[in-house]
Chains A and B, each alone.
Chain A
Amino acid sequence: MTILSPTSIDEAVAALADPAIQVLAGGTDFMVEVNAGHRRPDKVLSLRHIPELRTWEQLPARDDPAHVRLGATVTYTDMLQPDLAQLLPALAHAARTVGSPQIRNAGTIGGNLATASPAGDTLPVLAALEAVVEVASPLGVRDIPVATFITGPKRTALSPGELIVAVRLPLLDGHQEFRKIGVRNAMVIAVASLALAVDTRTRTVRCALGSVGPGPIRATEAEEWLAGTIDWDRPAATTEAPDLAYFGRLVAGAAQPIDDHRGTAAYRRHAIGVLAERAAAQAFGAGSAA
């Protein structure tokens, strides 16, 4: 087995011209597949020694709104650091639900995207925030919105030889959060998860669901109903509370859950509605943040 360990993105991209090469980031999905005998790499391209990929920056607000650009090998532990967590609170919540400390130290956002598991925990957040994935290949660089990046369960729009370089997420102004249901209280695959983000400037609500469909699902009808129902000009506490149970039902209606050994479709649909109602109550209920 050959292992390449480039120190720059350019070198990595050049190496990807070899179709046999397989990209290794934190290895927390990759090595599981190797150990299970499902993946037998001959050539591995490790991203560990590319410092540019491990950094993040806040892009100047030239174009409104401002963005954060996360390198592909930013880890869950990085997302939990206070400076980043305060910019992207829902992403930090999602990061905290991932695995154990060891997994959070190794696992990366690029790996989560490339794996594209229906239960990938950053994916609902990226979908709700309408993040854009930056991809590079020997042919050049392109931007892919998350909504089109994930094409199905464990399927992406990534072409052979393409490297995820970064993810750009807009900085919204308003409450955001992520909730995840699992059968135990930590280190568990999501049975259902939900990201909610409010943007008071555009007066929009974004809500994306995880583990209740082939990929993250935007509950657009529910989003629009809620955005249209709340009174954006007055503090939540002084207005009549919107019918958040109805919001929950709309969200549940958007889910496309299946029965499997981790949970029933009926429970997933029910639970996603409960999560939606609770998240919206935090955002818009009496005494809420927005």
Chain B
Amino acid sequence: MSDIATTHATKGTIGENASRPDGGPKVRGEFAFSGDLWADGMLWGRTLRSPHPAARIIAIDIAAALRIPGVHAVVTAADLPASVNYGLEWRDQPVFATDVVRYVGEPVAAVAADHPEAARQACEAIDVQYEPQVPLLDPAEAAAAPPIHPDGNVFRQLTIRTGDPSARGPIVVEGAYEVGMQDQAFMGPEAGLAIPADDGGIDLIVSTQWLHNDRLQVAECLGLAPEKVRLSLGGVGGAFGAREDVSLQIHACLLAQRTARPIKIVYSREESFLGHVHRHPARIWMRHSAEADGRLVSFEARILLDGGAYRSSSYHVVANATCFSAGPYKVENALAEGIGVRTNNPPCGAMRGFGAVQVCFAHEAQMDKLAEACGVDPVEIRLRNALATGDRLLTGQVIEGTLPVARVIREAAALPLPPSPEIADPMTRPGGAGRTADAAHVRRGIGFAVGFKNLMYAEGYMDGSAARCRLSDGLATVTCAAAEVGQGFVTLAQQIARTVLGVEDVLLAPADTSIGSAGSSSASRQTWMSGGAVEKACQAVRAALLQHVADRHGIDPAQLTITDGRVTSTDARDSIDLAVADAAPGVVFEEEVEYHHRITHPLDDDGQGDAHVSLVCAAHRAVVDVDPDLGLIRVVQVATAQDVGRALNPLQVLGQIEGGIAQGLGLATMEELTLRNGRILNPSFTDYLIPTALDMPEVLATLVEEPEPGAPFGAKGVGEPPTISSTPAIVAALRAATGKALNRVPVRPQDIALGDGE
């Protein structure tokens, strides 16, 4: 690099591994998570939850609870001043159960007390008389069963029909698959602090994915105008979809309103497992037919998703699961039927990968079966069917953006393989620290999988994000309500501002509801939507600055640019060369904008329509060591190539890839909420196992950069793809090593060792 470049170039712009503004505090343990919130005079809120999956409430007696010293309020549904229901997309969920409870963990009452212990005792002292009912627990029976909710038992039934579904190729493969209930298992449990304000409103600091949607639901239930409910983001310890739905927000605000005191609520780990939605468990049947060379002729799927007691995002999870059920492959004749149902199991909703994860496990198992039936290599059969720009999805939509499926397959397959197992340290064998396997007991398998999904919301949703940029003497301040949930939006917002404005000092204002909605930190959408809003706001400020300079010099602003932190003219005769910081002393430029993506459309009766904004794909190759006699597993390496459009911060992309693979590995080998009679048996980190460092494989990643037209900087969201195909790649490797069918995830030791579940 030349001297000039080092002195002039703006550091920390797009494409660099700029460091996170919250990175240092997080590593040092100084970052304030929402569980650390505190206000003078605050009370502790606590929720009483249903112990039954289905019961009628005969009576609730709170008198004894109110008598406990230190208890300031006990609230039930009867205390709600306005709406009694809430819901992310559809208000079908009671804030507190009234006449019936529909799942174990459903809130029934909440208390506020001056000490957590008093609050706990108060919850115990509330006398709820239940009349237990026979719960509806089998999703396969739900559609035909008597409704357990006024809205019925079917959240959505979607059929996608294209071409001639009766067409058949000579090779036919069929299979039934099951996916267990995964939890987002974020580290920082739900927490928030609600503070009553002098104007009769409420200030709520909370860890969430979508401030404005929470605000709307709180305002509806408290009977307040939305402006009177002001939310700001508390430090978020992970989200992965589980913070899209309201948890404690309404309870805390209601208690604050009632007691006129600040209310803090922090969930315990157990309550966290009960208090947020999970990934939909799925039962999936698929049949593929192909020509002898493996090219697909037809595809059929039936997908059953258990949405649990309330709707949450089930409607759209059904859409994603069905729309992407065939995987990133060309197939002209298809019939895919998806259904999401209501049961008395815990509610399910958004989780990283959102419907695509479940079907990817099934379609990738099918592709391997097809490869075997055709005698074609698993990588080759995927290449032969790979979707590309110009092809049609099952929904008839023509892929207009980039979708380098063949390239991610080739690049992932080309990454180097790990050394052979014999030389491994015993600790790195299957069984790890338990030293269960000697070298001779280990067999190695390799598996491959490809997955895809959409970015952003779909089916005509009018999505938008607002951002404000302020520039004054070289200091930029960016305001956006996008929730930083760990993904690194805060870094990107700074990088974008630096790139557009040529300044290095970029402050991020706190994320709150003082500005318009940024939408949810979900659907891999914030880099595009809020990144786009920040870019647009900064561009508006940049234009105003250049106009100002041009006016002062009496020239056309079109002649001015910002390069390497300096305002210069393209016309050498103007001899303008000013540092951005000095270009307009004392002048403040401020612009607020809204950003929208292109319009999408609903699906018709045949599930056809241009429903999706953009698509993204990734391929994973897993190398797994297995101890077949004990069914224990060590994932040795996962190699991946991911379609990223453009890597705005390669290190952050890698962070998403490694984290997503850990979560995919979890689903493949250990993560499942086990239910008995609708009750979660393992609501703790003792028994809901997530991967440790000794479970995590080496990760090799190639970032495939084909800029997406229409996307800010050409960048695609990168959060979800790593979880989609990592799970099936690992299970394919397990099948290769053991010869077992393994049609269900997570694969349990007994499935391998004893052939359980086959």
Q: Is the CB of B695 within 8 A of A267?
A: no
Instruction: Please pick, from A37, A185, A261, the residue contacting B120 in the complex, using a CB distance under 8 A.
Output: A37
- Per the bound structure, the CA–CA distance linking A93 and B693 in Å amounts to 19
Q: Is the CB of A185 within 8 A of B431?
A: yes
- Chain B residues closer than 8 Å to A175, beta-carbon distance: none
* Interface: A282 (CB within 8 A): yes
Give per-residue flags for B431-446: 1 if the beta carbon is below 8 A from chain A beta carbons, else 0.
1111111100100000
Instruction: Knowing A186-B433, A261-B682 are in contact, say whether A267-B754 is a contact too (CB < 8 A).
Output: yes
Q: Is the CB of B750 within 8 A of A93?
A: no
- Chain A residues closer than 8 Å to B689, beta-carbon distance: 183-184, 188
Q: Is the CB of B433 within 8 A of A261?
A: no
* Interface: A141 (CB within 8 A): no
Q: Is the CB of A186 within 8 A of B436?
A: no
- Per the bound structure, the CA–CA distance linking A100 and B634 in Å amounts to 18
Q: Is the CB of B435 within 8 A of A184?
A: no
Instruction: Knowing A264-B756, A271-B753 are in contact, say whether A184-B695 is a contact too (CB < 8 A).
Output: yes
Closest chain A CB from B95 CB (angstroms): 25
- Chain B residues closer than 8 Å to A274, beta-carbon distance: 629-630, 753
Instruction: Please pick, from B120, B434, B682, the residue contacting A182 in the complex, using a CB distance under 8 A.
Output: B434
| Cβ-closest chain A residue relative to B750 | A267
Q: Is the CB of A181 within 8 A of B750?
A: no
- Chain B residues closer than 8 Å to A186, beta-carbon distance: 432-433, 692-695
Q: Is the CB of A271 within 8 A of B630?
A: yes
- Chain B residues closer than 8 Å to A177, beta-carbon distance: 435
Q: Is the CB of A181 within 8 A of B433?
A: no
Give per-residue flags for A72-99: 1 if the beta carbon is below 8 A from chain B beta carbons, else 0.
0000000000000000000001001100
* Interface: A266 (CB within 8 A): yes
* Interface: A278 (CB within 8 A): yes
Closest chain A CB from B113 CB (angstroms): 15
* Interface: B687 (CB within 8 A): yes
Interface residues of A in 237-288 (CB under 8 A from B): 261-264, 266-267, 270-271, 274-275, 278, 281-282
Instruction: Please pick, from B438, B670, B749, the residue contacting A181 in the complex, using a CB distance under 8 A.
Output: B749
Q: Is the CB of B749 within 8 A of A271?
A: yes
* Interface: B621 (CB within 8 A): no
Q: Is the CB of B670 within 8 A of A180?
A: no
| Residue picked from B630, B681, B692, most chain A C-beta under 10 Å | B630
* Interface: A187 (CB within 8 A): yes
Q: Is the CB of A184 within 8 A of B629?
A: no
Closest chain B CB from A236 CB (angstroms): 15
| Cβ-closest chain B residue relative to A40 | B117
Q: Is the CB of B432 within 8 A of A267?
A: no
Instruction: Please pick, from B433, B691, B753, the residue contacting A267 in the complex, using a CB distance under 8 A.
Output: B753
* Interface: A168 (CB within 8 A): no
Interface residues of B in 681-705 (CB under 8 A from A): 681-682, 686-687, 689, 691-695
Q: Is the CB of A185 within 8 A of B435?
A: no
Interface residues of B in 85-137 (CB under 8 A from A): 120
Q: Is the CB of A278 within 8 A of B753?
A: no
Instruction: Knowing A184-B695, A189-B686, A263-B750 are in contact, say whether A96-B756 is a contact too (CB < 8 A).
Output: no
Closest chain B CB from A31 CB (angstroms): 13
B contact patch SS: loop
Give per-residue flags for B629-644: 1 if the beta carbon is below 8 A from chain A beta carbons, else 0.
1111010000000000
- Chain A residues closer than 8 Å to B750, beta-carbon distance: 263-264, 266-267, 270
* Interface: A70 (CB within 8 A): no
* Interface: B259 (CB within 8 A): no
Instruction: Knowing A186-B694, A267-B749, A267-B756 are in contact, say whether A278-B120 is a contact too (CB < 8 A).
Output: no
- Per the bound structure, the CA–CA distance linking A188 and B670 in Å amounts to 11
- Per the bound structure, the CA–CA distance linking A278 and B430 in Å amounts to 14
Interface residues of B in 710-758 (CB under 8 A from A): 748-750, 753-754, 756
Q: Is the CB of B692 within 8 A of A185?
A: yes
Q: Is the CB of B436 within 8 A of A184?
A: no
* Interface: B674 (CB within 8 A): yes
Q: Is the CB of A261 within 8 A of B681?
A: yes
How many residues from A make CB contacts under 8 Å with B?
34
| Cβ-closest chain B residue relative to A37 | B120
- Per the bound structure, the CA–CA distance linking A29 and B689 in Å amounts to 19
| Residue picked from A93, A180, A185, most chain B C-beta under 10 Å | A185
- Per the bound structure, the CA–CA distance linking A56 and B432 in Å amounts to 28
Q: Is the CB of A187 within 8 A of B434?
A: no
- Per the bound structure, the CA–CA distance linking A263 and B682 in Å amounts to 12
Q: Is the CB of A263 within 8 A of B434?
A: no
- Chain A residues closer than 8 Å to B431, beta-carbon distance: 179, 181-182, 185
* Interface: A132 (CB within 8 A): no
- Chain B residues closer than 8 Å to A270, beta-carbon distance: 750, 753-754
Instruction: Knowing A180-B434, A274-B630, A278-B436 are in contact, say whether A185-B694 is a contact too (CB < 8 A).
Output: yes
Closest chain B CB from A46 CB (angstroms): 22
| Residue picked from B432, B436, B670, B689, most chain A C-beta under 10 Å | B436
- Chain A residues closer than 8 Å to B693, beta-carbon distance: 186
- Chain A residues closer than 8 Å to B687, beta-carbon distance: 189, 261-262
Instruction: Knowing A97-B434, A179-B434 are in contact, say whether A184-B749 is a contact too (CB < 8 A).
Output: no
| Cβ-closest chain B residue relative to A98 | B433
Closest chain B CB from A270 CB (angstroms): 6
| Cβ-closest chain A residue relative to B430 | A185
Instruction: Knowing A37-B120, A266-B750, A267-B753 are in contact, say whether A185-B441 is a contact too (CB < 8 A).
Output: no
- Chain A residues closer than 8 Å to B430, beta-carbon distance: 185
Instruction: Knowing A189-B686, A263-B750 are in contact, say whether A184-B630 is a contact too (CB < 8 A).
Output: no
Interface residues of A in 187-206 (CB under 8 A from B): 187-191, 193
Closest chain A CB from B318 CB (angstroms): 29
Q: Is the CB of A97 within 8 A of B674?
A: no
Q: Is the CB of B436 within 8 A of A275?
A: yes
Closest chain B CB from A269 CB (angstroms): 10
A-B contacts, 26 listed (Cβ < 8 Å): A96-B435, A97-B433, A178-B435, A179-B434, A179-B435, A179-B436, A180-B433, A181-B434, A183-B670, A183-B748, A184-B670, A184-B692, A185-B433, A185-B695, A186-B432, A188-B434, A189-B687, A261-B681, A264-B750, A266-B750, A266-B756, A267-B754, A267-B756, A274-B629, A274-B753, A281-B438
- A interface residues with partner B (beta carbon < 8 Å): 37, 93, 96-97, 100, 177-191, 193, 261-264, 266-267, 270-271, 274-275, 278, 281-282
- B interface residues with partner A (beta carbon < 8 Å): 120, 430-438, 441, 629-632, 634, 669-670, 674, 681-682, 686-687, 689, 691-695, 748-750, 753-754, 756
With A184-B689, A188-B689, A267-B754 already in contact, 14 other A-B pairs whose C-beta atoms are closer than 8 Å: A37-B120, A96-B433, A97-B433, A180-B435, A183-B670, A184-B432, A184-B669, A184-B691, A186-B694, A193-B434, A261-B674, A261-B682, A267-B750, A274-B629
